[in-house]
Amino acid sequence: MIRLEKRPSPSRLWTVVTPVLAVLATMIVGGLMFWAMGKDPFETIRTIFWDPLFHETFGPYSRPQLLVKAGPLILIAIGLSLGFRAGIWNIGAEGQYIMGAIVGAGVGLAFYPSESILIFPAMVIAGAFGGWAWAMIPGLLKVKFGTNEILVSLMLVYVAESWLASMAQGLLRNPDGMGFPGSRNLARDFPAASNLELISGTGMHWGVVAAFIAVIFAYVLLSRHMLGFQVRLTGEAPRAARFSGVKPARLILFCLGTSGALAGLAGLFEVAGPAGQVSIDFGSGYGFTAIIVAFLGRLHPVGILLAGLLMALTYIGGELAQLMLGLPGAAIQLFQGMLLFFLLAMDVLSNYRIRLTKPEAA
Amino acid sequence: MKSLKPILAGAVLALGLTGPAMAADPVKVGFIYVGPVGDGGWTYEHNQGRLAVEEHFGDAVETVFQESVPEGADAERAITQMALSGADLIFTTSFGYMDATLAAAEKFPDVKFEHATGFKMGDNVSVYSARFYEGRAVQGTIAGHMTQSNIVGYIASFPIPEVIRGINSAYIHAKRVNPDVEFKIIWAYTWFDPAKEADAATALIDQGADVILQHTDSTAPQAAAQSAGNVITFGQASDMSDYGPMPRVSSIIDNWGPYYIARTQAVIDGTWASVNTWDGIGAGMVGIGDISDAVPADVRAEAEALRDALGSGEYHAFTGPINKQDGSVWLADGETADDGTLAGMGFYIEGITDDIPN
């Protein structure tokens, strides 16, 4: 008989090993699924995990694209992880991402076609502000009225999406766009506001740089700074935290504000670079995927960095598998879903010990 | 060792085939789809066009596709990877791929690109679309005759010229045969979302509509009309004949196959050039699905006559006198609309009581 025995504290070893196990389990079960669909499982897994990095035709293009795809995921996930560690659940990063893009792009477009070098920095600040302000709504409501930040932040995603549709068709619509929705293309038609590759062929744009900086800052904050200690303490032992003088309201506003600002930044860098324009379909789910990335990375800055890259790999590899092997898009989504499923399932191993015992006599 | 034999045989065969006669690789044609190929509407019909290309050219052409590609930052990567994989001709089949198509086209000057429903062209980028508003004219005629409540419900997707043109065309022709007709318009803000589309259809039916026109791609409105009873619908993008003879009484069918075959042939012949194509019923890009028995014979005859007049070019769907919604004159008596105005149409015509959202 198998019995689960709760560990006094999560096993350090298993915390590191379970993500790797989850990836392996996803490969095995996913491979079985591909096999059942009549595809060669080894070729499919290789196409997803290997070809984006090392394929001679696709590799040189896909490797930089990994950074482009992972950048916003990491940036958002880092912000979310601070709150998640303290037990503050910002589920609405997607909305903050969208609002950051709208506010940031709006500031840029207001000065079209200026060539001032101050425009892009102003947009960055506006983008962060947009995300921060949107996250302050659930923050203030929680602090003042005790509302649930999970619900409020999630619902605000849908409000943000409506704002996005309205902006794309109204205020920010391209005057030269023949009446079609969508703003001017910042990346293609507005050099002063564009967030292009810093070094050609590397995929490195300001958003990726910001993501790396965020990883370092979060690491230092959590391991060296008083505020980071308070964040961890509040999550692990809320009562002890209160005795040690942590002010919950300030912590809530700090965590939500920071994650909102980082999500807003991610939106701004995306709208000024890879996406190019404020369009109805701009919200591409990064804000939700980042939640998976945060947990896949164990809420640890370095883990999130790796998890973001892994997630990006499954996206780009999944696209390649669709293209090269004719795999349906839904199969790739299923495959990504499995990854989260196995990760959560494997969590049992870090929180519990598995004991094999003989059935007790009645 | 036993397994080596067929491999060797295959290799010999392959070597034999790569003689001078077969030196040319098959032309590779790629398709980027916005929805799943099984959506039963827009993407389904583009995929039918792809299959028509495969059938027409056989081994001389290889096709690839990628479905459900989001219209945003991911589109450029999907198109670029397709070009990297050796595609010679790539069709990007949704409006939102416009800038991504142009960006990819700049990186691959030797690859030919064709963007559906856009307006930005390049040396190696063509644009193509269909005059769906011609089909809307036929639809409006049937709708005007068939409605008992004089309320026609319209499920619109996004307030872009394409959709506004369709509403105007349907309204003009419904009004012509039934001066009391009224249009109720719901904006679904989606091209494909069965749940939302069903909600919109139900809401319109609750408001008294007994004809539902849709500019969204799923069959959900058909199902909603079927369960409500006594409501007629039209297939959108695809024939949707499963819902005939009631509620689906006819349809507008996108027929991309002939165009895709012609463009592929042009690449094979080396005659491909950047063009702006906007074809309608006449060229076969827009088809009118069979008009079912639920429609009286005289109405059917009238609708078919209109279809043929549009097809032959003797009648234009936007022929004056037509006023704009604010009462100002748009087209004088006998004047027809020019393509430029139609392409950027951002206004309703007189009689529609709704406002275009923005």
pLDDT tens sequence across B275-291: 999 999 998 899 999 99
Residue B81: list chain A partners with CB under 8 A. 58, 61-62, 319-320, 323
Q: Does residue B72 sit at the A interface (CB-CB below 8 Å)? A: yes
- Please state the three-class secondary structure of chain B as a single string: CCCHHHHHHHHHHHHHHCCHHHCCCCEEEEEECCCCCCCCCHHHHHHHHHHHHHHHHHHHEEEEEECCCCCCHHHHHHHHHHHHCCCCEEEECCHHHHHHHHHHHHHCCCCEEEEECCCCCECCEEEEEECHHHHHHHHHHHHHHHCCCCEEEEEECCCCHHHHHHHHHHHHHHHHHCCCCEEEEEECCCCCCHHHHHHHHHHHHHCCCCEEEECCCCCHHHHHHHHHCCCEEEEEECCCHHHCCCCEEEEEEECCHHHHHHHHHHHHHCCCCCCEEEECCCCCCEEECCCCCCCCHHHHHHHHHHHHHHHHCCCCCCECCEEECCCCEEECCCCECCHHHHHCCCCCECCCCCCCCC
Q: Does residue B309 sit at the A interface (CB-CB below 8 Å)? A: no
CATH fold of the domain at A40-326: ABC transporter involved in vitamin B12 uptake, BtuC (1.10.3470)
SS3 category, A112: coil
CA angle at residue A180 from B165 to B108, to 5 degrees? 120
A180 and B160: CB-CB below 8 Å? yes
Interface test with A, best of B84, B106, B193, B276 (most A CBs within 10 A): B84
CA angle at residue A65 from A59 to A68, to 5 degrees? 160
Domains belonging to chain B, first-starting first, are 22-130 (3.40.50.2300), 132-253+288-343 (3.40.50.2300)
pLDDT score at B129:
92
Interface test with A, best of B69, B82, B160 (most A CBs within 10 A): B160
Distance CA(A204)–CA(A105), nearest Å, equals: 20
Residue B345: list chain A partners with CB under 8 A. 179
Residue B159: list chain A partners with CB under 8 A. 169, 181
Per-residue pLDDT of chain A (362 residues; tens, 9 = 90+): 778 888 887 777 887 888 888 889 999 999 999 999 998 999 999 999 999 998 888 888 889 999 999 999 999 999 999 999 999 999 999 999 999 999 999 999 999 888 888 999 999 999 999 999 999 999 999 999 999 999 999 999 999 999 998 898 889 988 887 777 889 999 888 888 888 888 887 888 999 999 999 999 999 998 888 888 888 888 888 888 888 888 888 899 999 999 999 999 999 999 999 898 998 888 888 999 999 899 888 899 999 999 999 999 999 999 899 888 888 888 888 998 888 888 888 877 777 887 877 766 55
CA distances from B181 to B154, B157, B185, B214 (A): 13, 22, 13, 17
A181 and B158: CB-CB below 8 Å? yes
Rg (CA), chain B: 23
Token pair belonging to A31: 């491979």
pLDDT score at A112:
86
Q: Does residue B82 sit at the A interface (CB-CB below 8 Å)? A: yes
Token pair belonging to B329: 């004159």
A320 and B96: CB-CB below 8 Å? no
pLDDT score at B38:
83
Q: Write out residues 273-292 of B within 8 Å (CB-CB) of A.
A: none
Residue B67: list chain A partners with CB under 8 A. 322, 328-329
B160 and A282: CB-CB below 8 Å? no
Quick check: B313 and B133 in contact, CB under 8 A? no
Q: Does residue B68 sit at the A interface (CB-CB below 8 Å)? A: yes
- Whether the per-residue pLDDT at B109 is higher than 80: the answer is yes
Considering only CB atoms, A323 lies closest to which of B36, B81, B103, namely B81
Closest CA in chain A for residue B165: A179
pLDDT score at B1:
39
**Please, is A160 exposed, middle or buried when counting C-beta atoms within 10 Å of its C-beta (0-12, 13-18, 19+)?**
buried
B64 and A326: CB-CB below 8 Å? yes
Q: Does residue A336 sit at the B interface (CB-CB below 8 Å)? A: no
Q: Does residue A203 sit at the B interface (CB-CB below 8 Å)? A: no
CA B186: distance to chain centroid? 20
Tell me the pLDDT of chain B averaged across its residues. 89
Q: Does residue A52 sit at the B interface (CB-CB below 8 Å)? A: no
B84 and A61: CB-CB below 8 Å? yes
Considering only CB atoms, B70 lies closest to which of A173, A180, A284, namely A284
Token pair belonging to B127: 């644009």
pLDDT score at A278:
92
> ipTM, 2 decimals?
0.84
Quick check: B32 and B82 in contact, CB under 8 A? yes
Q: Which is it for strands B61-66 and B232-237: parallel, antiparallel or unpaired?
A: unpaired
What share of chain B has pLDDT > 70, as a percent? 93
- Whether the per-residue pLDDT at B3 is higher than 70: the answer is no
Residue A275: list chain B partners with CB under 8 A. 72-73
Quick check: B261 and B61 in contact, CB under 8 A? no
Residue B99: list chain A partners with CB under 8 A. 185, 188, 276-277
Considering only CB atoms, A319 lies closest to which of B72, B78, B346, namely B78
Distance CA(A257)–CA(A250), nearest Å, equals: 10
Considering only CB atoms, B72 lies closest to which of A180, A279, A329, namely A279
CB atoms within 10 A of CB B328: 9
Interface test with A, best of B28, B34, B44, B74 (most A CBs within 10 A): B74
Considering only CB atoms, A58 lies closest to which of B78, B81, B343, namely B81
Distance (Å) from the alpha carbon of A281 to chain B's nearest alpha carbon: 6
pLDDT in tens, B201-218: 999 999 999 999 999 988
Q: Does residue A277 sit at the B interface (CB-CB below 8 Å)? A: yes
Q: Does residue A185 sit at the B interface (CB-CB below 8 Å)? A: yes
Considering only CB atoms, B119 lies closest to which of A58, A178, A279, namely A178
Q: What are phi and psi of B337, to 5 degrees?
A: -70, 145
Interface test with B, best of A47, A281, A284, A316 (most B CBs within 10 A): A281
Distance CA(B83)–CA(B71), nearest Å, equals: 18
Quick check: A124 and A264 in contact, CB under 8 A? no
Q: Does residue B64 sit at the A interface (CB-CB below 8 Å)? A: yes
Distance CA(B269)–CA(B292), nearest Å, equals: 42
Within a 13 Å sphere around the CA of B257, how many CA atoms are in the beta-carbon half?
14
Which residue is associated with the tokens 């519990």?
A: A352
Quick check: B64 and B82 in contact, CB under 8 A? yes
pLDDT in tens, B38-83: 877 889 999 999 999 999 999 999 999 998 898 878 899 999 999 9
A274 and B68: CB-CB below 8 Å? no
Distance CA(B114)–CA(B123), nearest Å, equals: 11
- Taking every pair of Cα atoms in chain B, the longest distance, rounded to a whole number of angstroms, is 85
Does this model's pTM top 0.80? My answer is yes
B85 and A280: CB-CB below 8 Å? no
